[in-house]
Structure 1
């Protein structure tokens, strides 16, 4: 078992989800955790606390020392507004949200306005009517400035739909869009505003 698998096993064993694991060249080991998502509690937001991060940090410091993993600083935190989507549960949880996806291979669509070599897309994540796979929906119309007049002659650009499977995705993340409208704020924005982290040097240093 690799040390990465051991970290994930430790995090999940303590009752959390491992969202991301990143090891930088500068010696920073960043572990991103979240509370498990319960679909029966949809709409009820729960957030990782500093105490949660500290609990994971204590366990990982011991584990990494045993595994002889070379690092200088350990940071355990909650996801930000560009949270990665890793599995089917993540996609189900954030259906209806704005996401950025990068395909492994260009889509290669002909007969549409989508460039054949295009890999990156931003749109609203949806489940197709067939119930199989996923899709994002978007329009390539430029964002209008507040108060800008809309010409009656202007024709709206068509809505685009891209269907895909998780196997075709290289990377998927929540789009980093922040709303400060209070009750109208998106879950992605709420997650960012509640971002929590605990950072420590390597044990003994």
Structure 2
């Protein structure tokens, strides 16, 4: 059911964010404690502000209410994806070449399943990371289909 709600919400939200010249980054429908949350993450070059979130929320709420696909009570949240935004689409990896990221894979690559590094490139459906191992750097190539989870990361 959750996946169906996410897919329908994406279909409803996409034209709304397109008309506002925003990017639909992610949608999730989760239960936390007793409550359900429908979270919609949007962005634009230079970042979004509270007014962008309000406009999307108002229009999206109106459209979802018309179709009424969610049986239980829920909270709609529209926000920025944040500093550690998820990388889900191929375009995300292309867009953030040069950025520091965290990637977790479905299966080990070079004996590891978790990587922190800078995206060097995204070509031929593979992301190449430059990772630090103690005092040296090495390149790791990860097939896109083996990426379980990825997001921008903060380097200290």
* TM-score, normalised with respect to structure 1: 0.62
Structure 2 distance, partners of 1:106, 1:3, is 34
Cα pair 1:30 1:74 within 8 Å, conserved: yes
Q: Aligned partners of 1:172, 1:166: CA distance in 2, in Å? A: 10
Match of 1:134 in 2: 127
Q: Return the structure number with greater strand share.
A: 2
* Structure 1 residue aligned with 2:11: 6
Give the C-alpha shift of residue 23 in structure 1: 1.6
Match of 2:36 in 1: 27
Deviations 1:167-194 (A, max 9, x none): 221111001347xxxxxxxxxxxxxxxx
Indicate the structure (1 or 2) with the bigger Cα radius of gyration: 1
Q: 1:166 to 1:71 in 2, by over 3 A?
A: farther
Maintained 8 Å contact 2:84/2:153: yes
Aligned-pair Cα RMSD in Å: 2.2
Spell out the pairing of 1:163-202 with structure 2 (5 A cutoff). 163-177=141-155
Mapped contact 1:3–1:67 kept (Cα < 8 A): no
Does the residue aligned with 1:119 lie in a helix, a strand or coil?
Answer: strand
TM-fit CA distance, 1:33: 0.2
Of the two structures, which has the highest relative contact order with CA contacts closer than 8 Å and spacing of 6 or more? 1
Partner-residue secondary structure (3-state), 1:170: strand
Q: Structure 2 regions of 5+ residues with no counterpart?
A: none
Q: Which residue of 2 aligns with 1:197?
A: none
In structure 2, what is the Cα distance between the partners aligned to 1:9 and 1:33? 10
* Paired residue total: 144
Name the SS of the counterpart of 2:78 in structure 1.
strand
2:46 paired with 1:56: no
Change (3 A) 1:81 1:13: closer
Deviations 1:79-107 (A, max 9, x none): 21110112232222211111000112222
C-alpha change, 1:4 and 1:61, in structure 2 (3 Å) is: closer
* Consecutive unaligned residues in structure 1, runs of 5 or more: 36-44, 110-115, 142-155, 179-205
